[in-house]
Structure 1
Amino acid sequence: MTQATDETPRARKAPRRTSRKKRVFRAISLTLLALLLIAGGAGWWAYSHLDGNIDSVDLDQAIGVDNRPAKVAPNAQNILVLGSDSRDGANAELDHGDVSGARSDTAMLVHIPAGRTKATAVSIPRDTLVTRPECKDADGKTVGTANRVMFNSVYSLAGPACVVKTVEQMSGIRVDHFVEVDFAGFKGLVDALGGVSVTLDKPINGGKGGLRLDAGTHRLNGTDSLKFVRTRYGYGDGSDLGRIGLQQQFMMAMLAEIKKQDALGNPARLYKLADAGTKSLTTDSELGSLAGLTDFARSMKGVDPDTMETIMMPVAYDKVDPNRVIVAQPQAGQLWEALRADQPIPAAAKKSPAIGG
């Protein structure tokens, strides 16, 4: 009896220990499962949220496959970057004068050679007189061709696809992708970065937007960055051609800031930047998703902002209207030919009669 009595408690304790271990293991498992579900749900929400920020346009459908230049240089990429400005609401205080309606006030054709190690950004002055091809607007209505229209008016009349078609007709270069950023979204991206540093070799004395900066280095927040890239009056000769230099300088500074912060190592910062960057973003349909943008960004990881060349499309002052410029030949033709062939740009093709080059 004594032996049985001694063994019975032991026999009864073992199942209780086993049951307790199972309960603890089950609790840990359920907790981990719950955390995974929460994390997965948050990840899916974040992805869906960022994905939903992006608008897209099917260029082949909008322009017509047969109306586009053939791709000449294999594996090279040409991206048309547009900065649009609604000129109302949050953008009303900027240095752009008394003009209503949407405009594409910044346009850069970025050529990335087959090696994907460098890039060339060609700015197209907004005041350039161009031939607008026949296009379809956002409602599917036909907008007829027109000669001697300002380049930035094409966007307001017929939308981004018509801007792509105009650039392709002007250059003979197939635009593989286009990215349009509304300036309101641009402001959010700069603020998410904590500002961008720029260095001026001469002061900005204030224009209609009121931006005043001495020569030297400045850390600009989102609002002042908008004023910086829109500055025209109060800097240099007050022309749009001078503003292009500021825009190119700021683009390089912002790319350098993004690279410097290495957001990939900080998920919270990465999400904040991605959320700000995808708001007010419109792309071609191939890039029109978070996955498409991510894949494209990975393919461009070898491009160093420090090696990017920034030039302006060669222009000359129009003889009829000296406040406008026209495409300068033969310089522009040589520039487009070099980019189509994925070859270095001749020095002569970088000279612009309108700025004494």
Structure 2
Amino acid sequence: MLVLVGGAGAAAIAFRLSSNMQSVDIDSALGGDRPPAAADGAMNILLLGSDSRAGDGASRSGEPARSDTAMVLHVYRGRQKAALVSIPRDTLVTRPACTTPSGTTDRGGARQMFNASYSVGGPACAVSTVERLSGLRMDHYVELDFTGFKKIIDTLGGVTLTTTKPIKDAASGLDLTAGTHTLNGTQSLGLVRTRKSVGDGGDLGRIQLQQAFVKALLTQVSGSGLLRSPTRLLTLADTATKSMTTDSALGNPAALVRLASTLKGLASSGLQALTLPVGPDAQDPNRVVPLATESRQVWEALRDDQPVPRSATERSMGDKGTAGSLVTP
């Protein structure tokens, strides 16, 4: 992209995008006690949506931001296929010790809420928790807040999808009739945050909507010619870099362009979307816990750069229900 605009213009654009970006040196924060790198040609990225509204001038009554959505994207060797594993925010996990923003150490421990990791220790703690849970090294980290998500969707011109039934959710503000819609940023955020009116009213039904939305987004981006248009790509890059936090290896425009180029062949038909296999917690009906055997199947398959077997999700609460069928690309 920068080559196409040439010379001084490229330098100016690079400076502009660089000044937009925020990054975190996760490698330095976590040190050497981490899983080994992915198999040759494969890549693991932790995608995190935070409920921070910092870019919108809003706050949550002084509370620290939380990880509202977490997905591990495993891109297979060859870059034509990927697996997307959603981790329910109410999952109870063993959280490793993490450094807090004030510089103290939180000792973590068993039966900790997964989404509290980000609140306790920011991106580094979130990555460390996922690596401890999965045994996979996260090669990259990409975080997007609510405001950034809405702006990116609006920059793309919205996302077109079809709802098979009406979806109305007072909590998220979403109100859609059955049929085909082009959702703007606000509506898209409402969709991926809707849970009260779908499935069992909890996080698992909402995750299914999120996965359906990601597939619709991939279908639209791959068919829109966006990645072949330097002008549109630059506009999107400007919006995105103002809205995201990445690991330091992605903390410059050239690295983001290389990543986008690497992933340009990925389409929704090549995406296997699933939820971390979970079951009800015996002590708290509002929490879930990973199913030991099935979760191990998921992470071992990805560690070996293989598709996740169907047997891994057959007993999981996360991939039951019909919320995902409410939305189609």
TM-score by length of 2: 0.89
CA RMSD of aligned residues (A): 2.3
Match 2:215 to one of 228, 252, 274: 252
Residue number in structure 2 paired with 1:196: 159
Q: What does 1:9-20 correspond to in 2, within 5 Å?
A: none
Is this contact kept in 2: 1:108–1:123, CA < 8 A? yes
Match 1:70 to one of 25, 30, 36: 36
Q: 2 CA distance for matches of 1:136 and 1:241?
A: 30
Is this contact kept in 1: 2:100–2:120, CA < 8 A? yes
Match 2:178 to one of 215, 240, 260: 215
Residue number in structure 2 paired with 1:304: 267
SS at structure 1 position matched to 2:207? helix
Is the deviation greater in 295-304 or in 77-86?
295-304
Instruction: Check 1:60–1:54 CA distance in 2 against 1; reply closer, same or farther (3 A cut).
Output: same
Instruction: Check 1:268–1:89 CA distance in 2 against 1; reply closer, same or farther (3 A cut).
Output: closer
Is this contact kept in 1: 2:38–2:44, CA < 8 A? no
Matched, 1:282 2:245: yes
SS at structure 2 position matched to 1:330? helix
- Using the TM superposition, give the Cα deviation of residue 72 of structure 1 relative to its aligned residue in structure 2, in angstroms: 5.0
Q: Structure 1: give runs of 5+ residues left out of the alignment.
A: 1-37
Residue number in structure 2 paired with 1:26: none
Q: 2 CA distance for matches of 1:116 and 1:342?
A: 11
Q: 1 CA distance for matches of 2:234 and 2:219?
A: 19
SS at structure 1 position matched to 2:312? helix
Q: Identity percentage over the alignment?
A: 50
Bigger proportion of residues as helix: 1
- Using the TM superposition, give the Cα deviation of residue 191 of structure 1 relative to its aligned residue in structure 2, in angstroms: 0.6
Match 1:56 to one of 23, 27, 35: 23
SS at structure 1 position matched to 2:317? helix
Residue number in structure 1 paired with 2:76: 113
Code of the aligned partner of 2:205: G
SS at structure 1 position matched to 2:89? coil
Q: 1 CA distance for matches of 2:208 and 2:319?
A: 15
Q: 2 CA distance for matches of 1:116 and 1:137?
A: 36
- Using the TM superposition, give the Cα deviation of residue 353 of structure 1 relative to its aligned residue in structure 2, in angstroms: 3.3
Q: 1 CA distance for matches of 2:168 and 2:301?
A: 38
Match 1:175 to one of 108, 115, 138: 138
Instruction: Check 1:60–1:266 CA distance in 2 against 1; reply closer, same or farther (3 A cut).
Output: closer
- Using the TM superposition, give the Cα deviation of residue 217 of structure 1 relative to its aligned residue in structure 2, in angstroms: 1.7
Q: 2 CA distance for matches of 1:62 and 1:46?
A: 30
SS at structure 2 position matched to 1:354? coil
Code of the aligned partner of 1:77: M
SS at structure 2 position matched to 1:159? helix
Matched, 1:79 2:36: no
Q: What does 1:125-140 correspond to in 2, within 5 Å?
A: 125-140=88-103
SS at structure 2 position matched to 1:116? coil
- Using the TM superposition, give the Cα deviation of residue 89 of structure 1 relative to its aligned residue in structure 2, in angstroms: 7.8
Is the deviation greater in 43-52 or in 72-81?
43-52
Q: 1 CA distance for matches of 2:230 and 2:30?
A: 38
- Using the TM superposition, give the Cα deviation of residue 40 of structure 1 relative to its aligned residue in structure 2, in angstroms: 4.6
Structure number with greater CO (CA < 8 Å, separation at least 6) is 2
Instruction: Check 1:52–1:74 CA distance in 2 against 1; reply closer, same or farther (3 A cut).
Output: same
Kindly provide the CA deviation profile for residues 90-138 of structure 1, in whole angstroms up to 9, marking residues without a partner as x. Answer: 4979xxx999431111111011111221000000001111111011234
Kindly provide the CA deviation profile for residues 207-257 of structure 1, in whole angstroms up to 9, marking residues without a partner as x. Answer: 223211122221111111111111111223211000001111111222222
Q: 1 CA distance for matches of 2:24 and 2:56?
A: 25
Q: 1 CA distance for matches of 2:199 and 2:62?
A: 22
- Using the TM superposition, give the Cα deviation of residue 156 of structure 1 relative to its aligned residue in structure 2, in angstroms: 1.1
Q: 2 CA distance for matches of 1:216 and 1:41?
A: 48
Instruction: Check 1:46–1:146 CA distance in 2 against 1; reply closer, same or farther (3 A cut).
Output: same
Is this contact kept in 2: 1:207–1:232, CA < 8 A? no
- Using the TM superposition, give the Cα deviation of residue 352 of structure 1 relative to its aligned residue in structure 2, in angstroms: 4.1
Q: 2 CA distance for matches of 1:102 and 1:264?
A: 32
Match 2:229 to one of 263, 266, 289: 266
Q: Structure 2: give runs of 5+ residues left out of the alignment.
A: 321-329
Code of the aligned partner of 2:251: G
TM-score by length of 1: 0.82
Instruction: Check 1:231–1:91 CA distance in 2 against 1; reply closer, same or farther (3 A cut).
Output: farther
Is the deviation greater in 319-328 or in 346-355?
346-355
Q: 2 CA distance for matches of 1:88 and 1:176?
A: 26
Code of the aligned partner of 1:151: F
- Using the TM superposition, give the Cα deviation of residue 283 of structure 1 relative to its aligned residue in structure 2, in angstroms: 1.0
Is the deviation greater in 227-236 or in 137-146?
137-146
Instruction: Check 1:352–1:217 CA distance in 2 against 1; reply closer, same or farther (3 A cut).
Output: farther
Instruction: Check 1:39–1:88 CA distance in 2 against 1; reply closer, same or farther (3 A cut).
Output: closer
Q: 2 CA distance for matches of 1:99 and 1:315?
A: 32
- Max radius of gyration: which structure? 1
Kindly provide the CA deviation profile for residues 128-168 of structure 1, in whole angstroms up to 9, marking residues without a partner as x. Answer: 11111011234433221222121111111110111111011
Residue number in structure 1 paired with 2:323: none
